Structure 1
Amino acid sequence: MVAAGIFLIARLFPLFIIIPYIMNIISSIGIVTLFLGATLALAQKGIKRSLAYSTMSQLGYIIVALGIGSYRAALFHLITHAYSKALLFLGSGSIIHSMEPIVGYLPDKSQNIALMGGLTKYIPITRTAFLLGTLSLCGIPPLACFWSKDEILSDSWLYSIIFGIIAYFTAGLTAFYMFRIYLLTFDGYLRVHFQGYSNSKNNSSYSISLWGKSTSNRANINTNLPVSTINNNNKVFFFSKDKKNSIKNRICDFHFYFGNKYTSIYPHELDNTMLFPLLLLILFTMFIGLIGIHFDSRGIDPDLLSKWLTSSKNLLVENSNSCLNSYFFLKNAIISVSIATFGLCIAYIFYGSVYSFFQNFYFFNSFLKRGFKR
């Protein structure tokens, strides 16, 4: 459904070229879409909503490429972005799945990145996969999206300086909000244990205080959903039908078994059923960009993607010849990677392990002390 509009414009591309002003309209819609999607992604707390607005922004890049005549770059980015975003969405599903035993089946809590953090030691495979997908979407070489995104950025700059500035600026925003999602999810400590989920004042559940003290009772574990105690002979029940101890405005009861079977209140990695496609998408994210790289320096043999797009062979001649100049490629790559790296660094300053340094005003106090000494 998402790719249907892209394919429609791509298939009607020869018709749109001869219609006056239609290409300008397409490129203008694309530039607004990519900037709007990136700015909306900055303010999202849900991990899936953030990735959804990221998809909106990347589709804007594809529309811009089609509007400025970069037919091959648009379809190339459609392919590379598909594998990278599939890896990110499957990784977010793994993250949500690992959080649900703690907060229950509540999307506003299990998908809230503000309640996550420190998941690296609990789901390391998912963390590695999500990091690769994040770096690919940011345009870090040699991952998939770098090759297609860099081509769109350079073509947009050649088409219009205004379009180029917006496209490069949005590339920095993309690196910022994507690394923000990664840091809030995997860096630091698990913040969910420092949130109060119980409405009752007398809470006899397992709790972890802000100062590191911990107390545990084998009776109850108060999550956002009510938990009741069962005998050791019972099994683990989810969505229990027992409504005797039900609380108003609650949907279901969760029962945890503390007998011989181990039940953890911390996130856990997925089983092999979901890890296998995650690892498969990692391979595609790392190597799918090879289909659009020119290995023949003479330019006689086109790349694999250009061979596939034989129906629009005349539209690919200009782009194929422009890719032969390694000097311009390296110059454009250095600029785009530098902007993406700058966005990553800014995100780490605000959301990384050093963010408490700024929250406690040590940074500003240090400048004040230096001023007084002078």
Structure 2
Amino acid sequence: MRWSIDKSSLSKALAHVASVVERRNTIPILSNVHLATANNELKLTATDLDMELVETVPCRSKGEGATTVPAHMFYDIVRKLPDAEIEFVRDGEQGRLTISCGPSQFSLQTLPADDFPSLSVDDLGHAFTLSAADLKRLIEKTRFAISTEETRYYLNGIYLHAGEDAGKPTLRAVATDGHRLAQVEIPLPSGAEGMPGVIVPRKTVLELAKLVEDTSGDVRLELSPSKIRVSTSRVVLTSKLIDGTFPDYARVIPQGNDKRMEVDNAAFAQAVDRVSTLSSDKGRAVKLSLEDGKLILSVNNPDSGSATEELAVDYGFDPLEIGFNARYLLDISGQLEGETAEFQLADPGSPTMVRDVKDVSALYVLMPMRV
């Protein structure tokens, strides 16, 4: 088994597949990446038994073959080699893979390719295509709200499902951690009708984010109630889904919030960032005091001092004081693409909805804090 490949294309592919491999493994073969050559292509595969990533890159191969080598060590070696062609030779008798690039040479211990596990996938049932840009939007605008609380495992991912907006079918992504909720939707792609609602795990979401970052054109999604597969021209990611029931999130989206505030999003984010410098690390609470045409942001921390900042806003309702976690405000503000943020409020104890004035396809819900 012998092949050669440019360092840049191999390093980029390894960056993708090695990120799937856990640093600590009780099963040695799971620490390895599977390498297979055929027809001047190198196929790299990594798995943690819950997710499998396969990436194919062009190479110059002599014959067919397969082996496995330690993923992170292999990536570190390739990453540190000069930008040149790298040659690989597998010695079947000694079970080693020799890596040569200019004056550098490495010899890595291998494990048999036949021992490498494969994530078995039956017929996934539902398949449809959407643009990489749309998939990126669904992920990027919701993933910040994924819960990291392992006891509420059913919140540890993005809920992807078919929805409806103004009578039109949509593909909707929702994430929540109980303190904030993010929802974004796109028109339902052809073929997605009747798809099951699925919860895509956090780790899979992070890998998909990397995948769509480097992809243009279309992406193919295949779904079943237990697995998801995302395919581009060079990469196939297959993952198990979270086996749980996502809560009825529509119940926490406020419908009767009758007080509206419009504010310059950039100025608001900068003001929140400034005053929260004095907020306590534990709560990071910022108080918003609203009255006719004016917003005062304030922080009062007995340990460090106080801060206030005033902003001109479009608000013509009864005065209102409400508190929020500054980090959550900044996270939501960072998702808005337009210049103006719209806050829909009710009272100091009820959820607040935040929207981008120019983008009605995304909404964010934020629970208040006591200040």
Structure 2 length-normalised TM: 0.26
Structure 1 length-normalised TM: 0.26
Q: Which has the higher contact order (CA 8 A, sep 6+)?
A: 1
Between Structure 1 and Structure 2, the one with more helix by share is: 1
